[in-house]
Amino acid sequence: MDNNSNMKKSKRRFGKVLFYFALFLATYYLIFLYFTNIRLPEVEANPLDTLKRIKTGENSYKIANDYLQKNNFGLWEIYLSGSPYEIGLAEGKLTKELIEIQEEAFVEQINNLVPSKDYLKLLKHGIAWFNRNLDEDIPLEYQKEIYGVSKSVSNEYNYIANPYERMLNYHAAHDIGHALQDLALVGCTSFGLNLNQPDSNLIIGRNFDFHINKKFSKNKVVAFVKPEKGNNFMYVTWASMIGVVSGMNDQGLTVTLNAAKSDIPYKSATPISILAREILQYASNIDEAIEIAKKRNTFVSEQLLIGSAYDNTAIVIEKSPSKMGIFKSDSNYIVSSNHFQSETFVNDENNIKYMKQSASVYREKRCKQLIHQADTFDVQTAVNILRDKNGLNGEEIGIGNEKAMCQMISHHAVVFMPERLKVWVSAPPFQLGNFVCYDLNEIFKSNIIQYDSSLTIEKDTFLLGDSFSNYMIYKDLYNAFEEVVEEKKMVANYDDLLYDLIRLNPEYYRSYLLASDYFVTVRDTADAIKYLEIALTKEFENTVIKKEAIDKLNKLKEAQNDSGN
C-alpha cells in the first residue's frame, strides 16, 4: 500500500514538473516572439497594390510609370519613381523573378556554409534576437520601401521568416557576415582623381569585390530612382536591395562603401548600406553627408568614400560602432582600401592589427603606384587601374590574388564623373566587360534610360585571348580538387590534375597550398613539403595564412625526421 502511494505521489510530482517545464517553454517562446516580432510599417492602400506589370518586349516590363529592361551588354536597368511604398511595390513586381534568383543563391550559400539543419534553426533564432530592433534602426521610409518589395517575394523560404522580415534581415546580412567572418566585402578599393583641380574633372573609381556565388552575381541591376523626397539618384545593385554600395545623385555626390576591420557586435544598428542610401538621397555636398553619417549608429566598421561636384573633392568617412573619423588627402588623389587612415583611428588596435595582417595596405600602395604611373587622369585611366591584376611594380602574384586591384570576384565596378553627372558601369564578367556610360542629366530629364554608346569603354583585352577561359578552367579545377581534399579521396590521375592546376595559374600561392594539402591526405609527406616550400616563395594575401603554412611545414618536417629515425 505504501509503495503504491509513493508511486502515485512520484507520478504527481513528475506530472507537475512536466507541467511547469512546458509552461516555462511556452512562456519563453511567447516572450521570444514578443521581443523578436518585427512590426509591419503602416501604409495606405495604393493603386499599385493591384496593378500588374506588362511585358513590353523580351526582357522588358512596365508598371505605371516605372519599367525594367535588359541592355545589350547584359545589364538590367530599372527606373523607379514615387513614394517609398510605391517604389518598393514597383521594384518587387518588376524584378520578381530576379529576386527569386538572388534569394535562392543567398540561401544556397547559407546552406553550404551551415549544412546542419539544427544549427541553422539555432542561427535563425539567434539572428532574430540579434535583429529584434532592426525595424527601429531603419528609417520608416525605407521600411515602407522594403515592405513594398516584400509583397512580391516568394513564400518558399517562409521557414526562415516571412517575406518582409527576410528582406529586412538581408539588408543587415552584409554587416553581420562582415563582423563575424570578415567575408562580406572581401577587398573593395575606391579612389578619387583630380581632387581640387579647377581645370580637370573629378573622377571616382571603385571595385565592389563582393562574391557569394556565380548565381548571385549574374544579374546586376543599374537603378535610377526619382523619389518624392530628396535627390534623384542612381545606384548599382541587385534585385530587392534598396541599400546603396555604389551610387551617385543628381547633385553630383557619390557614395561608395569599403569594409574595415570590426569588433563583433552584440545588437543591431542601422545597416551601412541604408546609411549610404540616406546620404545619397538627402546630401548635396560633403558637409551634409558628414552630418547624416553622424546621426546614425552602425554596428560594423566601414568606410564611405564621398565624392562631391559641389566641393570638387572627395573624402572618406570612417565609421565604427563607437566613433567616427574623417580622412582627407593632401594630394590631388585619394585612395581607400580596407583600413582606416584618419587620426581618429591611429591608435585603434583592430585597425593596426588588420593593417599588418591583411592585403589592404599592399593594395592601397599598388593603387597609388598605378596613379603615379598614369600620364593623364581620365575615365580610361580609372578603368585601367580597376582592371590591374598585378602586384607592386607589376609583379605577377597570381590571378585572383586579393592584393591586386582586380581580384576576379567583383560584383561590379563603376567610374563616376560627378561634375558632368556621368557614370560608367562594368558589364559582366566582373570589371572586365565594357564600361557602359549613363548620363543622369538626360535620364532624369526624359525619364528614359539610354546609355551613351559613343562613350563605352572597351572590354579588357584579358577577355580576348585564352587568358580568361584558362582562368575559369582553373577556378573549376581548384574547386573540384578542393572537394577531393576535403573528402580525403585519392585520385588516380592526380598528377595530370595538379599539373593543370599549377600551369593555369603558376604564380598563385593557393594552388601550391592545395597541392600540399592533397599530399597530406594521401600521406605523401615528401611531396606535401615540396609544394609548401614552393608556395612560400609566392606572394601570400595575408600574414595569418602564411604563418599557418610555415607552421604546417615545420610539423611536416618534424614528422619526416621522426619517421626517418
Q: Residue 259 falls within a domain, yes or no?
A: yes
Residues 162 and 223 in one domain: yes
pLDDT value at position 15? 52
The DSSP secondary structure of 171-198, one letter per residue, reads: HHHHHHHHHHHS-SSSS-EEEEESTT-T
Q: Residue 299 falls within a domain, yes or no?
A: yes
Q: Residue 423 falls within a domain, yes or no?
A: yes
pLDDT value at position 489? 80
- Residues 6 or more apart whose CB falls under 8 angstroms from that of 130 comprise 176, 265, 266, 267, 268
Residues 382 and 511 in one domain: no
Residues 412 and 513 in one domain: no
The CATH number assigned to the domain holding 559 equals: 1.25.40.10
Amino acid found at 451: Y
Domain boundary among 418, 445, 463: 463
Q: Residue 6 falls within a domain, yes or no?
A: no
Residues 431 and 472 in one domain: no
DSSP annotation of 432 reads T
d(CA 48, CA 84): 12
Q: Residue 1 falls within a domain, yes or no?
A: no
Amino acid found at 279: I
Range of the domain at 505: 467-564
Q: Retrieve residue 379's grid coordinates.
A: 575615365
Which residue's entry shows cell 563607437?
322
d(CA 238, CA 219): 7
The DSSP secondary structure of 59-128, one letter per residue, reads: TEEEETTEEEEE-TTS-EEEEEEESHHHHHHHHHHHTHHHHHHHHHHHHHHHHHH---HHHHHHHHHHHH
Residues 449 and 415 in one domain: yes
Residues 130 and 185 in one domain: yes
Mean pLDDT by 10 residues, the chain (565 residues): 57 51 39 54 93 97 98 98 98 98 86 64 58 76 97 91 88 64 64 93 96 85 99 98 98 96 71 96 99 93 97 97 96 97 95 95 99 96 99 98 96 98 98 99 98 98 96 95 86 85 97 95 94 98 96 94 71
Residues 417 and 489 in one domain: no
pTM of the model as a whole: 0.90
Residues 126 and 210 in one domain: yes
Residues 445 and 472 in one domain: no
Residues 213 and 305 in one domain: yes
pLDDT value at position 198? 87
pLDDT value at position 33? 37
Q: Residue 447 falls within a domain, yes or no?
A: yes
What does the angle CA 563 – CA 544 – CA 189 come to, to the nearest 5 degrees?
145
The CATH number assigned to the domain holding 436 equals: 3.60.60.30
Q: Residue 45 falls within a domain, yes or no?
A: no
Counted domains in the chain: 3
The DSSP element (H or E) to which 521 belongs, if any, is: helix 509-521
Q: Residue 5 falls within a domain, yes or no?
A: no
- Residues 6 or more apart whose CB falls under 8 angstroms from that of 481 comprise 497, 498, 501, 514, 518
497 phi and psi, to 5 degrees?
Answer: -65, -45
Residues 258 and 127 in one domain: yes
Domain boundary among 431, 448, 463: 463
pLDDT value at position 134? 66
Contact assessment for residue 339 and residue 290, using Cβ atoms and an 8 Å cutoff: no
Q: Is the dihedral of CA 407, 408, 410, 416 positive or negative?
A: positive
pLDDT value at position 269? 84
Domain boundary among 463, 496, 526: 463
Residues 30 and 123 in one domain: no
pLDDT value at position 183? 44
